[in-house]
Amino acid sequence: MRKKKHSYSMIWAIFSILIVFGIIKYASPYAFMILLGKDHTMPTPSTLMLWYMILGVLGALVYVSTSDLKWANFLSFMLPGEDDRTKKLLQKIIVLALPLLLGWFVYSGTVPGTASPVELRIQHPTLLQKYENMENPFAHVSEELKEKYTEEGKHLYQQNCRPCHGSKADGNGPFANSFRLRPINFTDPGTIGTVVESFVFWRIMEGGPGLPDGSTPWDSAMPSWEDTLTDEQVWKIIMGEYATAGVVPRQREEAE
């Protein structure tokens, strides 16, 4: 009499959630690699993944419960399969798979060993008082001299900073791969472009060892150049570094 008996809407819901998972986990790293022109895949961060999956599941649930009919169809998959063999098979799979999945989560959550180090974000340290009012001694020289000092600075930059920060100041020097905390890419507008010159002076002079407590993640390989370079050389390097990277330092706000 009533032909249309078995609804598969639960299967479709599960299927679409799996597809969303597949896209986020496996397809998007490649999509972003192509879109952003990177030469390595861009894996989705786990927290982002969590939120996308929650959204996906909620979306599916909202859809199946938009009407009483849909919700009843959704639940009806739990009713006996009778003579529908596919439905019976799928029911068995789901009944078996869900507890096993749950068991696997508990296993991988409690099994010891494969812990992975927490990678902390880089905390930008606050500029020390000592450097707060320091000014580039070459800030007010003639344009001609400025150009000359910048050029000298570029040479010094290439000699001392290039092995890690690279000839292009993009953080891709030949030694860069050896430091898990990669050398800073100065051409990124979010780096030296956001700080005043005296901040850079401080970082060059004191390097990783001079970072204040709490400046995570304690992996900086930045040398402290106090022992090798003079103040003047460092100021020149700073001018050369900004010029090589093609960014300008943040200007101090004028005090009245």
Partner 1 sequence: MDMKKDKKISFFQITWCLCVLVVTCAICTQSGYAQTSQIFRNYSSVVPGKIPENQDAISAGKKIYEKHCYYCHGIKGDGNGSDALRLNPKPRNFTRNEYKIRSTLLGELPTDEDLFRIISSGIEGTAMPFWNSLTINERWQVVYYIKTFNKEFENSKNPESSSVANVIPESPESIKIGSELFKDAKCVNCHGEDGRADGKITTTLEGVWDLPYRARNLTKSWLFKGGHTSSDIHRTLTTGFNESPMGSYAEYLSHEDRWHLAHYVKSISKTMDTDVVLLSYIVETDLPTGPDDPIWESISSIEIPLAGQIIAKPRLWMPSVNSIQVKSFFSDNYIVFLLEWDDKTNEQNETYSDAVAIQFPTVIPESSEKPYFAMGGSGKGVTIWQWRAYDEVQELAKKELGQVDDSVTATDGGSSVDSDEESSDDEGEVAPDKIEEASESEQTEGVVEEARPLFTNFAKMREMNAKGFKNVSVQPSKSQLTKSLGVWKNGKWKVMVTSPIVTNEKKLDIQFEDGKLIPYALAVWDGSNQEIGGLKSISSWYYLNLEKVIPNSVYFYVIIAIIIGTSIQFWVIGRVRRFPPKVNEE
DSSP assignment of 68-82 equals: HHHHHHHHGGGS--T
Nearer Cβ to partner 1 (36/118): 118
Cis preceding-peptide flag for 189 (omega within 30 of 0): no
Is residue 22 part of the contact set for partner 1 (CB under 8 A)? no
By C-alpha distance, which of 19, 6, 4, 164 is closest to 82?
A: 6
Touching partner 1, residues 188-217 (CB under 8 A): 207-209, 216-217
183 vs 196 by CB, closer to partner 1: 183
Please report how many Cα atoms fall inside a 13 Å half-sphere around the Cα of residue 48, on the Cβ side.
Answer: 8
Contact flag: residue 113 with partner 1 (CB under 8 A): yes
Estimate to the nearest angstrom the gap between the alpha carbon of 45 and the chain centroid.
Answer: 8
Closest approach of Cβ 128 to partner 1, in Å?
17
The reply on whether position 98 binds partner 1 by CB under 8 A is yes
Least distance to partner 1 from the beta carbon of 252, Å? Answer: 28
Q: Which of 19, 95, 122, 139 binds partner 1 (CB under 8 A)?
A: 95
Please tell me whether residue 230 binds partner 1 under the rule CB under 8 A: no
Say which residues have a Cβ less than 8 Å from residue 232's Cβ, sequence separation at least 6: 137
Q: Binding to partner 1 (CB under 8 A): which residues in 136-195?
A: 154-155, 158-159, 162-164, 166-168, 170, 172-182, 187
Minimum CB distance to partner 1, residue 255 (Å): 36
118 makes contact with partner 1 (CB under 8 A): yes
Residues numbered 40 to 69 that lie near partner 1 (CB under 8 A) are 40, 43, 45-47, 49-50, 53-54, 56-58, 61, 65, 68-69
| Residue 19 C-beta: closest distance to partner 1, Å | 14
Helix H segments across the chain?
9-22, 28-35, 46-64, 68-75, 85-110, 129-132, 143-160, 162-165, 197-206, 231-245
Rounded CA gap, 161 and 47, in Å? 35
